[in-house]
Chain A
Amino acid sequence: MKLVRPYGDTLNDGAMQLSFTLPIPYGRKAKECAKLYLEKLGFKTADIVHMAELSEEFTFFIAYAKTDVSIDYDSVEYTPAIDKAMTMDEVNQFIKEKIKRKVVVIGATTGFDAHTVGIDAIMNMKGYNHHFGLERYPMIEALNMGAQVPNEKLIEMAKKINADAILISQVVTQKDAHIKNLTNFIELIEAENLRKRFILIVGGPRINNKLAVELGFDAGFGPGTYAEDVATFIVKKLYEKMINK
């Protein structure tokens, strides 16, 4: 058991900073209301340190509050998609030695989502923040189909180029559009009896491994992911599939 609380300046003081808006007019009553609201959330003490009028009907608050709720760190179950990423060179070495052929990866931002920033960061030659993308990996053949690709088209192309892994990026998450789209993808691929043929990976700002696995994918990657994280997962999973055949 390791019980922890947020840390401000003393161990387990439970101090947190918060900011939020309430749909109420600005004024002293608003401040009292915001404070009471935080107490209702279970905070023991709450200070509204700043408030601002956004319009006649909205007020913004910045608050510091303390909680005595704690959590047992040791009881947290967490399974990331990978333990530790290999470097680009290590990935290539792994493919050469163990898989012994080029690995084919296809990716797209699917549905109506028009954002290529995520898929580009992982796949494009240049990559992101000095982490090269999959196109740069000598032992990986990468095809980036861009954005607004229908699920059907992505599956069709994956079959055509005989992909080992399919990467899907989902950036727009308003009204859970990404969940619907990802569920639809899994349904389509299962309907064609192709689920086992591909390694399926999804990434995006609101994606994590747990959600992805729940939806039926092999892995999910959230913010801060680089190409080598994804590549590591793909090659290890592919190797695992090969030896279990």
Chain B
Amino acid sequence: MDLLDRYLQSVRKHLPFERQDDIVAELRANLEAQLEEKESALGRPLTQPEAEAWIKQLGSPIHMAAHYQPQQYLIGPALFPIYRHVLKLALFWAVVAYVIGTVVRFIAGAQPDGAALLDAILHVPLVVLYVAAWCTLAFAAIEYAVTRGCIKLPQLEPLSTLWAPGVLPSIEQQNPARKPRSFAHAVAEVVVGFFLLDWLLLIPHHPWLLMGPGAVILDASPYQLAPVWWQFYWCIVALNIVQLGWNLENLLRGSWRQPHPVKHIVFKFMGLVPLAFVLAVRDHALLVLKHPALDQASRGATLDVINLYVYRSFIVIAAIASIQLIWDFAQLSRNAFRNRAMPNA
């Protein structure tokens, strides 16, 4: 039968090379026996439409041949849980190492600027991609070697015997953010926030409240704070007013037990704004000379060094604040996902 021959020919093309003849011969014998029986029951050969319908119900040649292929994995089910665990650890520590390396490079290296910082941040996905790719490649190679008997990893097989209940970590503390706050805690936040705001508003008239004896030293020195610090200062004041307002609203509306976590994230994000003002200062001029015309020649170099180190310190602070923000956002997303999956939890 021409149609059956054409079908078997197509199946053959998708079979493992070394078993093509054997499998096709067996398939042919079985299918021809089936065909003979059909035709004997009908008392005539199958018509073209009947033959096509019969061949069609066998499934496409690719589908038929696929069942003869051994199951193939890039990383098999035995190795996959270990791969996933190692991948998580590798990604976490790679990002941590990259952040530490970048911060150290900025502190010790050449003049860091906004473009270099942005470049460093944009490199994070590449680092993640490289680590994930190498990790996957390494495990795929292990899987390949294990399945072909090139290496034997006996410790992977009885994985369940490698652990003991005694070494399980102790019960983790409940996330403090999820614990309901007491009324006293909420009142204390408002009262402290109010005094903190008062203290902040007094600083321009009484700098010693912030700097202590440093205020006298700064006053006597040839240096003074650059105008950008006023922007920084008013941003901090505004942030404290917003926070005090939120805390007061929580108290008045009776929602102090579980403050909305998004507010916490938004507030942290707003905290980056004053840092951005400081980091955006031209030539890192955070301190300036009181009398540039007189002192520039003798004190200009010292001023540049001080400004550079103050600027680098603020880069470190901004990096830490950004990492905290990302971490909090990730935690918030994870909790939201968990709550959506288990609404009654």
B and A form one assembly = no
Chain B contacts to A: CB under 8 angstroms: none
Chain A contacts to B: CB under 8 angstroms: none
